[in-house]
């Protein structure tokens, strides 16, 4: 048996998905039962309403869902402010500080195929530069959900070089991305990979060998993806126990501790 780990999940949502499947949880009670089964002791959680319908309403609804559950930590979705649909960066920083938010997640581009429409914006500096600058100034990590077949590598590289202290966690990457991923990991030390879809042959081991376990952040993608598969990928990886602990929880805990809001 592998060494059993204590996991801090970076990628879980609550609420009704646009295309729900049988046995998926939708509330905190169901989530906590699933977390206990898989050995996940705490999690960053966002709300499906913020992703699929209204970002501000969904961010606010999240607190009603997770109140009184100390193992669930809120993560807000964010987007550019230029159309007036979302807070400008200064307002966002104030609201995050008041609400105890220590990380944000973006759903840019055309929208992630499993989740719904996303928020339809480009990751260019023109669109997101003010947002990224604010997040960098407070050491707030940003999780960016991407479509594997259409990752904007050049724009991501531009952002990460422009804001070298901004911690950018790329999510939704699969086994096919390494020829584009490795160069950006080599050039940009502030780029990290969330693990829930990164299921290539010895993919975890390859990142650990070439760039170090510090570049991987555990996420399950529940309830759409299997929490069992997500934890199994780390528990059974051919890496050291210390590296597994880093991926399972220590890397994310370290990032959140550095937030200065």
Instruction: Give the tens place of pLDDT for each residue, 165-217.
Output: 999 999 999 989 999 999 999 999 999 999 999 988 999 999 999 999 999 99
Q: 174 with 151: CB under 8 angstroms?
A: no
Residue 154 maps to a domain: yes
> Is residue 42 situated within a structural domain?
yes
CA 177/CA 152 separation, integer angstroms: 12
Per the domain annotation, does 1 fall within a domain? no
Q: How far apart are the first and last CA of the chain?
A: 41
From 150, 145, 187, 135, select the one nearest 170 (Cα to Cα): 145
Token readout for 52 is 């699929």
In a domain, 2, yes or no: no
Q: Which long-range contacts (CB under 8 A, 24 or more apart) does 154-158 make?
A: 155/122, 155/123, 155/124, 156/123, 156/184, 156/191, 157/184, 157/187, 157/188, 158/125
Q: How far apart are CA 219 and CA 173, in angstroms?
A: 12
Domain tally, the chain: 1
Q: Are 147 and 108 in contact (CB under 8 A)?
A: no
Q: Evaluate whether residue 71 is within a structural domain.
A: yes
What CATH number should be reported for the domain holding residue 195?
3.20.20.140
Where in the sequence is the domain holding 131, given as residue range(s)?
Answer: 7-257
Q: Is residue 152 part of a domain?
A: yes
- Please report, in tens digits, the pLDDT of each residue of the chain (261 residues total): 455 799 999 999 998 776 666 667 878 998 999 999 999 999 999 999 999 889 999 999 999 999 999 999 999 999 999 999 999 999 999 999 999 999 999 999 765 455 555 788 999 999 999 999 999 999 999 999 998 778 899 999 999 999 999 999 999 999 899 999 999 999 999 999 999 999 889 999 999 999 999 999 999 999 988 999 999 999 999 999 999 999 999 999 999 999 999
Residue 125 lies in a domain: yes
Residue 240 covered by a domain: yes
Q: Where are the extended beta strands (E) located within 116-232?
A: 142-145, 168-171, 191-194, 216-217
Q: Which pTM was predicted?
A: 0.95
């Amino acid at each position: 048996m592998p060494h059993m780990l204590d996991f801090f999940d970076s990628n879980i949502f609550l609420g009704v998905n646009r295309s729900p499947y049988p046995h998926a949880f939708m509330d905190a009670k169901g989530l906590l039962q699933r977390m206990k089964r898989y050995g996940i002791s705490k999690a960053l959680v966002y709300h499906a309403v913020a992703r699929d319908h209204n970002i501000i309403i969904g961010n606010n609804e999240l607190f009603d869902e997770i109140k009184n559950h100390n193992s669930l930590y809120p993560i807000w979705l964010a987007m550019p402010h230029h159309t007036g649909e979302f807070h400008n960066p200064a307002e966002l920083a104030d609201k995050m500080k008041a609400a105890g938010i220590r990380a944000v997640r973006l759903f840019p581009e055309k929208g992630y195929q499993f989740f719904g429409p996303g928020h339809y914006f480009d990751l260019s500096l023109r669109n997101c530069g003010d947002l990224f600058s604010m997040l960098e100034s407070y050491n707030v990590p940003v999780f960016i959900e991407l479509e594997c077949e259409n990752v904007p590598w050049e724009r991501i590289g531009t952002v990460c070089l422009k804001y070298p202290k901004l911690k950018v966690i790329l999510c939704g990457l699969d086994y096919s991305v390494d020829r584009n991923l490795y160069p950006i990991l080599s050039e940009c030390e502030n780029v990290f990979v969330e693990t829930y879809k990164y299921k290539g042959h010895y993919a975890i081991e390859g990142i650990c060998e070439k760039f170090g376990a510090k570049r991987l952040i555990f996420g399950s993608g529940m309830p759409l993806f299997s929490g069992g598969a997500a934890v199994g990928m780390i528990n059974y990886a051919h890496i050291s126990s210390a590296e597994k602990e880093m991926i399972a929880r220590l890397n994310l805990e370290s990032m959140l501790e550095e937030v200065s809001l």
